[in-house]
Amino acid sequence: MNNRRIAESFIIGTLLCAGCILSAAVLSDGFTRFRSLDRTVTVKGLSEREVEADIALWPVGFDVAADDLAALVGMIREHNAIATDFLLNNGFQRDEISVSAPSVVDHQAQGYGDPGRYRYRYAGNSTVSVYTSDIDRVRQTREKLGDLGARGVAISGENYENRTEYLYTGLNEIKPAMIEEATTEARLVAEKFAADSGSRLGKIKKASQGQFSIADRDSNTPYIKKVRVVSTVEYYLVD
């Protein structure tokens, strides 16, 4: 009877030991796999393009001054007509030209400052704007603005609110190719890192695409735009 119990105990003990060994092996393998999946590399891929603007918004502003309000309004109308005629003669279409509402200031009616320091009581300004896809015509015609001065139109200098803008509207057409280029560059960087570390590149764990940015290439060529996007990709590394 005792021998039988001893044999049963031995068998149970053997099974328990085997189970412990097997469990330890399974846990060890699982931990190893978990640690392997935890090894990642995060890389960035850049894509840049230089493109030409396809829309120009060109405001031609001017200032006038007079002591008589009716005379001032008449000057504004006359200057608007001269500026419009100038643009039409240089090849712009009438539907590309718009005239803004004039702005008039009465220096004597202002509640601050010394009105005596102004030579004329009234000052006014107006803007004739061009919205066109003909970028080259805008650039060429801007060089002829002196012709307006010769006809008595005092052109205002460009400032933040009154400056020529060049826009690029074809972003959707180049987006797919740029995203692919940025992603490809990111993978090349990741593969180089994996090779240098003695690993292989695994699947993508996480990826994010940055926003597209459009900026002037430089201050001298605002009609040339630089389009830029950065993709960030995180890969698993495999031994």
Question: Among residues of the chain, what percentage have pLDDT more than 90?
Answer: 70
Residue 23 has pLDDT above 50, yes or no: no
CA distance 69 to 129: 24
CA of residue 157 relative to chain centroid, distance = 27
**pLDDT band (50, 70, 90) for residue 11:** low
Residue 39 has pLDDT above 80, yes or no: yes
Residue 27 has pLDDT above 50, yes or no: no
**Interval 162-186 mean pLDDT:** 95
Residue-level pLDDT at 141: 96
Question: Is residue 122 within 8 Å of 66, Cβ to Cβ?
Answer: yes
Within 10 angstroms of residue 202's Cβ, the number of other Cβ atoms is 18
Residue 43 has pLDDT above 70, yes or no: yes
Inter-CA distances, 168 with 48, 59, 209, 213, Å: 14, 18, 21, 11
Residue 31 has pLDDT above 50, yes or no: no
> What fold characterizes domain 40-53+169-239?
Translation Initiation Factor IF3 (3.30.110)
Domain boundaries, the chain: 1-38, 40-53+169-239, 55-167
pLDDT digits (tens, 9 = 90+) for 202-232: 999 999 988 999 999 999 999 999 999 999 9
Residue 166 has pLDDT above 90, yes or no: yes
Q: Where on the phi/psi map is residue 45: left (φ > 0), alpha (ψ -120 to 50), or beta?
A: beta
Residue-level pLDDT at 157: 76
Residue-level pLDDT at 107: 85
Architecture of the domain whose range is 55-167: 2-Layer Sandwich (3.30)
Task: Tell me the pLDDT of the chain averaged across its residues.
Answer: 86
β strands within 95-174, DSSP E = 97-99, 103-106, 122-132, 165-167
**Interval 72-84 mean pLDDT:** 96
